[in-house]
Structure 1
């Protein structure tokens, strides 16, 4: 079957180890289902795997991809939940210390057919597009948990999204606006700021700009480059919800004095659980939301998508179709 996989790893030239070619068909096992893929989306996790981050070399070759949507052997349209719990785990799978994502321990979703734990399958709403369904399990689920589980904000609350272009950031804008939040956005890029307004942001600002009022929560995916700004724009008692650090995890100032003096909360947020994914799919359907697609290409042309993601110029998700 056709698949997109990591054959070798390089921190400086990650795409050198990317292969689009034939891999063995998955074999059904008890408790697992084979899904015929219809669409999947790229995440930075896929580039990190090619760089050797989180994927030991002894597990290569590894089919890449964390999320996707497709059809099971009974003809059911399903969304693939990305977080795989360890055997015997009960409760929220994101708190399982031995959890993994697809393409870390088990082969990933960038393939014509994918082996998935049956418990990880969520029904896809019949009227939802494959591209929308494929975008939900990683970036959109991360944004959903950040906003609605961890931020502590309510409709009418003011949220700042740091950075306007990535999949999580665009999802935060769309989800937040649909839920009645006031969403402000920062970006270095004027075009991305304007597109954020089109997605429902109330106001946009240059990165690091002084804001006209303090915010209730900051959705932080950038890391070191925006950390001090995120702390400084919060009202007393506000929260930074962080899910990543694309600019690095070592800011010049930790801002600890401001954090404890103003009683700020710093909340780590990783992915979401299967129940949240089911709720997210219904929320997206009810509000008629469509994730922003930066590029859509067939699985056979996946390298184009990886090159686009590696460029850093994306706005929204990159979709692979099958």
Structure 2
């Protein structure tokens, strides 16, 4: 696999405090990677170093084998940060044309306009008159202006409605299929679970987990089984708790839930014991549960 980004034992210190602490990872061509973590976990700092907007205090960052500030790297990189700034007194179509003109091989203007989802009337508006969601759509188009090989999106769907959000992620998938490499941050965990090939989970400046959504959930999240509550539900719960494969048991919304590390083993134990369970359902766990477990420490959640 072709390495696009390499972070090698990278730390960043602000006023004696490490915002990023000895981070190392590689990002490969054509992948979609989500960088997740609580506020203050170091996500944005890491992205700014990859963009060359911050220098590491320790370690090294290379993009396409070069320093992030190298001209050849910047020509192949596009980004949309949390705050989308627009130029006053320029129309949307004028801004798109201006930014595209900075690149030797810009993306086709028609494709850029399609990416924004803005209609012809919006393209003729002054940029400062756009809504927050429309400004983010414009920011997406500007990130694509140079037809980049590498794209960074920091909280890209904040302020977008459901239709615009769906269109954005469909476009991102299409870009990855073309071989472009995508990194994004988001607080919408279902987006990361649905879109990302890989998740880098930051906590307190360090990497708490690195893997696909399924790998992270399989390693961290306890699975659960649930059954319809029978007439003797309390007796059934007590019997379930005697089984070695079951960690916990509780009642909710007319069903009995049990937590377990291995649903197959738990079901074998339940049926071997002849317990009267009906309407069995298996929940493999959610990414938000993994996120919560991985960002806990002795002092509590971050």
**TM-score band w.r.t. shorter chain:** under 0.3
TM-score for both structures, normalised by structure 2:
0.24
TM-score for both structures, normalised by structure 1:
0.23
Q: Which has the larger radius of gyration?
A: 2
